[in-house]
Amino acid sequence: MTASASGFVDPPVPAWQRRWRDLRNRLLANGTFQDLAARFPPTRFVARREARALFDLCAGFVYSQTLAACVELDLFAQLAKGAETVEHLAARGRLAPAALLRLARAGAALRLLETDGARVALGPLGAALLANPGIAAMVRHHALLYRDLADPVGLLRGETNATLAGFWPYEGGDAPRADAYSQLMAASQPMIAAGILAAWKFRRHRRILDVGGGDGRFLEAVAARAPALALMLFDLPDVAALARARFARAGLAGRAAAWGGDMRVDRLPEGADIATLVRVLHDHDDDDAMAILRNVRACLQPGATLLIAEPLAAAAGAAPVGDAYFGFYLLAMGRGRPRRAAELAAMAERAGFIGARQIATPQPLLTGLIAARAG
């Protein structure tokens, strides 16, 4: 592994791969080669696939906004029970029928919807979205992210006053905003919890401490799977108060407790045999992430388990999610970075954990999982 000036760690590229990359790039950047490849039957398929991939990158924002329009008009929920006529959907959305049909055709091209021109039904991706209401919440939330990304170079230069940073006011205490971001996290948490619960058996533990546990949505899901487990949560004071309210509503007050404070410096509650950091470390720059890991280690007995769950950089089959999506998301948020599994494992070991290893999850696109033991 080699560390660059920015602190990012990349495996070295072998010399033969660098030579092949240079040759490939010289060919691909040559217009005559492209013309020939597009006409020559054996390479035509690849040429079309690459052109389509590049077009999709050019048009990605338009596709995202097609999805945003469907979500804003609540089309997926309206179609949950079956197809509806273009006229009916147009009237509900206060659109001209021709405008609704334009959206339906765009949605059909993106597999979100299906239409025969008179009626509109869910497409396979629209149907999948219905099962995960957190996706629609994220699509709505992206209005903030895309505003900040209107000038991506300005954002990279640190010249943009990013609105997303104001959505996540970790410093300073702001109860209404903590409520807003905790609602967004709670809406998307079931997708994350499902992956973690499929990959790790919580029944074998006695007491869990969820650090940066938000409003307790993750612990509520764990509690249903492990009925004997005692539940502890630590988060900023305004958020810990939301967790207490959720535990009371869910009838968990007898087995759950929440503490408020700063997880980087304040003493964490002791006695857990498993501590979890779910979508927490990537929000923080390296010094703070190390402070959190050391603080978690300090509250655990040797042998206790640490689970880190977050989208990983360079995840097999999901590389753009970590490095492109979360790379820019966290830049707009003003701190943190996506990390590779090996980086997180090395950081956990520097903080006093041993045996750090990656655990497979059913949807690496949504969350990666690292397990380690307190040394």
Residues of this chain that interact with ligand LPSJV3QT (CB under 6 A) are 128, 132, 135, 138, 168, 188, 279, 282-283, 329-330, 333
Using CB distances below 5 to 8 A depending on partner kind, what does residue 65 bind out of ligand SAM, ligand LPSJV3QT, none? none
The single residue listed with the structure tokens 């497409």 is: 123
**Closest approach of ligand LPSJV3QT to the CB of residue 88, in Å:** 26
- Nearest 5°: CA angle at 247, between 246 and 251? 115
Task: Give the span between the Cα atoms of 106 and 64, in whole angstroms.
Answer: 11
CA 322, distance to chain mean position in Å, is 8
Using CB distances below 5 to 8 A depending on partner kind, what does residue 138 bind out of ligand LPSJV3QT, ligand SAM, none? ligand LPSJV3QT
Site for ligand SAM in 111-170 (CB under 6 A): 170
- Nearest 5°: CA angle at 189, between 353 and 176? 105
Contacting residue, 37, 101, 185, 348, with ligand SAM by CB under 6 A: 185
Q: Which is nearer to ligand SAM, 186 or 315 (CB)?
A: 186
Task: Give the span between the Cα atoms of 331 and 162, in whole angstroms.
Answer: 9
Q: For residues 313 and 342, is the Cβ–Cβ distance under 8 A?
A: no
* Amino acid symbol at 238: D
**Closest approach of ligand LPSJV3QT to the CB of residue 178, in Å:** 13
Q: Which is nearer to ligand LPSJV3QT, 229 or 276 (CB)?
A: 276
**Looking at 68-76, 211-219, 318-326, 329-337, which segment touches ligand SAM (CB under 6 A)?**
211-219
**Closest approach of ligand LPSJV3QT to the CB of residue 175, in Å:** 18
In this structure, the strands spanning 207-211 and 274-278 are parallel
**Closest approach of ligand LPSJV3QT to the CB of residue 128, in Å:** 4
- Residues in contact with ligand SAM, total (CB under 6 A)? 20
Site for ligand SAM in 266-295 (CB under 6 A): 278-280, 283
Using CB distances below 5 to 8 A depending on partner kind, what does residue 128 bind out of ligand LPSJV3QT, ligand SAM, none? ligand LPSJV3QT
Query: Counting contacts by CB under 6 A, is residue 218 touching ligand SAM?
Result: yes
Distances (CA, A) of 175 to 21, 27, 53, 187, 288: 51, 56, 43, 18, 22
Query: Counting contacts by CB under 6 A, is residue 367 touching ligand SAM?
Result: no
Contacting residue, 263, 293, 299, 356, with ligand SAM by CB under 6 A: 263
**Looking at 21-29, 81-89, 214-222, 314-322, which segment touches ligand SAM (CB under 6 A)?**
214-222
**Closest approach of ligand LPSJV3QT to the CB of residue 67, in Å:** 10
* Amino acid symbol at 9: V
Q: What burial class does residue 326 get, using C-beta atoms within 10 Å of its C-beta: 0-12 exposed, 13-18 middle, 19+ buried? A: buried
Rg value, the chain, Cα: 23
Nearest to 103 by CA among 132, 82, 72, 131: 72
Query: Counting contacts by CB under 6 A, is residue 311 touching ligand SAM?
Result: no
Q: What burial class does residue 220 get, using C-beta atoms within 10 Å of its C-beta: 0-12 exposed, 13-18 middle, 19+ buried? A: buried
> What are the DSSP E strand ranges found in the chain?
2-3, 9-10, 84-85, 113-115, 119-122, 207-211, 230-235, 256-260, 274-278, 305-310, 353-359, 368-374
| Binding positions for ligand SAM, rule: CB under 6 A | 170, 182, 185, 189, 192, 212-214, 217-218, 235-236, 239, 262-264, 278-280, 283
